[in-house]
Chain A
């Protein structure tokens, strides 16, 4: 039989049983739609995590005190105090790959303005801090080197702190707030940044010169961390190596001694999150794949019933000159057409579902052409794989028996 005739025959057979054909396709439709939607959600959250991490600064390098083993007792990171202000000077003078560098100190406490108060965090840094951590100043200004040198009691407020302390009619700039009983003058307000990847509100922050925070609030000479900006993302690892060497020299570590600090880059964060979201993608993908396989079994099931139901038709086709091969190909083609048509409908439904999820749940989704292509190939494969058995059964029928079938 000519291939065009074969296609004609298969399409006619599908159209002759519209309801059943639709029901057969339903499994595949749902399977493909869920593959598309699941992958879209997975890819979407993946992309949004990547984006959020970059918004934290992909050039960012963190130097933290290492948790140290003192006399056999493992000490937490907060207990270990190894970073000091002179390290910053050392790195600035000895590492040409460092673009910007700032100490970071931090303290939790209650901030008070008039009768309002709010629990928040105060961060201390130098004038490069906002650049490194990708904060923008919305209004007012950042503290200058003079204010750092003199441990001036000035600060910038994050939007959340502003919202919780001030009414709409008050301009925070120039006002005096109290943090940990110390009065600070507000000199600027930070641009809103939103939540970070961990769900922390990045706007719930007060920023002050590190000198002020260390002298008046934490009353310590040790730093929480050193934050550094490399010149570009590509130079992160080179810069890290240089910083490590610099830190070892600054801390006068012998060759036998371990680092008393730890260098963290966003790369690690990205790869950690990358592997988590990859896992999620695989999980979602396999759930979806299972539903596709179930859809395929549905096709096999109904094709199988259909062969039994259409035994007389098969008998007739054999009697008027159809060869076993013609019958096999017809039923196989029917299965493939059903699964491919189901696949097309499924893709459309999957895209609609993804967009609905995006609109209603506010989840980010990303539909990739790969997902669509893979679903298609998988569908055709399922059609052949699950159509084969019933098709072979049909082609092996004896014409006389088939014609006599009731």
Chain B
């Protein structure tokens, strides 16, 4: 089966100009992504991961080279066209969630659809509820964002990224603020979404998080230095269970010790 190519980067460069100095954040990058992929973008700090994600997310334009998204050349687009693309084809998940404070989960998830004039109030509500269902938060719909745990907030953010049925979800260190257990929960959610056919690009520092994805690409100084399929892909669900078992075991030990004393 020939998979549909949704992202195609040709000889892409991104330079930043800081005073008289040029920072080459991305150099001669060629990359294609097919529908249904789950990619971890890795690399040291300052290697260009966020820069790539911003370009993929149509928040920024490359200095040179072409970017084809879903069959359309992004380079030629105006600011407003890019905004429309972001609104209909991209889902963002940020490290710091970026939910509107003092606003319910449902309203936060509805937000991207408010900017799409072709979606009716009813459809917006339906889609938002559906997205919250997908992240397991239907019972928290009316809760305010600032009354939720970090993990829950991130799940609301993921629901928000899902709600417009994007071509790809882009996450920049989406587990960066979370503890291991909650990170695994989020990864398990991403795996589940990916099983349903959603394409995901995922920036992370942590190699163990990367093992939950299907493909890893590694950057160094703006260059793509490694691109490989993950063998022995782990299930976050199982990892989570192991983690819980371990915790339970430790707790039991603790209790035994206490009892002994």
Contacts of B116 in A (CB 8 A): 321
Complex CA–CA separation, A326 to B114 (angstroms): 11
Say if the beta carbon of B134 comes within 8 Å of chain A: no
Complex CA–CA separation, A5 to B102 (angstroms): 18
Contacts of A312 in B (CB 8 A): 98
Contacts of A295-325 to chain B: CB distance below 8 A: 312-313, 315-325
Of the candidates A8, A313, A326, the one whose C-beta lies within 8 Å of that of B100 is A313
Of the candidates A1, A316, A318, A324, the one whose C-beta lies within 8 Å of that of B114 is A1
Of the candidates A5, A8, A316, A400, the one whose C-beta lies within 8 Å of that of B98 is A316
Contact present for B117 and A321 (CB under 8 Å): no
Contact present for B94 and A403 (CB under 8 Å): yes
Of the candidates A9, A321, A399, A400, the one whose C-beta lies within 8 Å of that of B112 is A321
Of A2, A16, A316, A400, the most chain B CB neighbours within 10 A belong to A316
Complex CA–CA separation, A321 to B98 (angstroms): 15
Complex CA–CA separation, A324 to B117 (angstroms): 15
Say if the beta carbon of B181 comes within 8 Å of chain A: no
Instruction: Name A406's closest neighbour in chain B (CB-CB).
Output: B96
Contacts of B78-123 to chain A: CB distance below 8 A: 79-80, 83-84, 86-88, 92, 94, 98, 100-103, 107, 111-112, 114-117
Of the candidates B60, B86, B94, B102, the one whose C-beta lies within 8 Å of that of A321 is B86
Say if the beta carbon of A287 comes within 8 Å of chain B: no
Instruction: Name B157's closest neighbour in chain A (CB-CB).
Output: A316
Say if the beta carbon of B48 comes within 8 Å of chain A: no
Contact present for A319 and B92 (CB under 8 Å): yes
Complex CA–CA separation, A122 to B215 (angstroms): 114
* Nearest chain A CB to B31 CB, angstrom units: 20
Contact present for A12 and B59 (CB under 8 Å): no
Of the candidates B87, B102, B107, the one whose C-beta lies within 8 Å of that of A320 is B87
Contact present for B92 and A320 (CB under 8 Å): yes
Instruction: Name A9's closest neighbour in chain B (CB-CB).
Output: B114
Q: In the complex, how many residues of chain B place their beta carbon closer than 8 angstroms to a beta carbon of chain A?
A: 27
Contact present for B100 and A321 (CB under 8 Å): no
Contacts of A321 in B (CB 8 A): 83-84, 86-88, 112, 115-116, 164
Say if the beta carbon of B54 comes within 8 Å of chain A: yes
Contacts of A325 in B (CB 8 A): 80
Say if the beta carbon of B201 comes within 8 Å of chain A: no
Contacts of B161-210 to chain A: CB distance below 8 A: 164
* Nearest chain B CB to A192 CB, angstrom units: 65
Complex CA–CA separation, A319 to B53 (angstroms): 12
Complex CA–CA separation, A149 to B36 (angstroms): 122
Complex CA–CA separation, A12 to B106 (angstroms): 13
Contact present for B115 and A1 (CB under 8 Å): yes
Contacts of B49 in A (CB 8 A): none
Of the candidates A1, A16, A319, the one whose C-beta lies within 8 Å of that of B86 is A319
Of the candidates A5, A16, A316, A318, the one whose C-beta lies within 8 Å of that of B83 is A318
Of the candidates A8, A316, A317, A319, the one whose C-beta lies within 8 Å of that of B57 is A319
Complex CA–CA separation, A315 to B111 (angstroms): 13
Contact present for A323 and B80 (CB under 8 Å): yes
Of B83, B84, B86, the most chain A CB neighbours within 10 A belong to B83
Contact present for A1 and B117 (CB under 8 Å): yes
Contacts of A317 in B (CB 8 A): 111, 115
Complex CA–CA separation, A12 to B100 (angstroms): 10
Of A1, A324, A399, the most chain B CB neighbours within 10 A belong to A399
Asked, given contacts A312-B98, A400-B59, A403-B98, whether A322 binds B115 with beta carbons under 8 Å apart, the answer is yes
Say if the beta carbon of B155 comes within 8 Å of chain A: no
Complex CA–CA separation, A322 to B117 (angstroms): 11
Say if the beta carbon of B160 comes within 8 Å of chain A: yes
Complex CA–CA separation, A313 to B101 (angstroms): 9
Contacts of A316-353 to chain B: CB distance below 8 A: 316-326
* Nearest chain B CB to A405 CB, angstrom units: 11
Instruction: Name A322's closest neighbour in chain B (CB-CB).
Output: B115
Further contacts, 15 of them, CB under 8 A, given A5-B114, A317-B111, A320-B111: A2-B117, A9-B114, A12-B103, A316-B100, A318-B83, A319-B57, A319-B59, A319-B86, A320-B86, A320-B160, A321-B83, A321-B88, A322-B115, A323-B79, A325-B80
B residues whose Cβ falls under 8 Å from a Cβ of A: 54, 57, 59-60, 79-80, 83-84, 86-88, 92, 94, 98, 100-103, 107, 111-112, 114-117, 160, 164
Lowest 8 CB-CB distances: which A-B pairs, in order? A321-B87, A320-B112, A321-B115, A323-B83, A316-B98, A321-B86, A5-B114, A16-B102
> What would 6 A/B residue contacts be, using CB atoms closer than 8 Å?
A2-B117, A318-B59, A319-B59, A320-B111, A320-B112, A326-B115
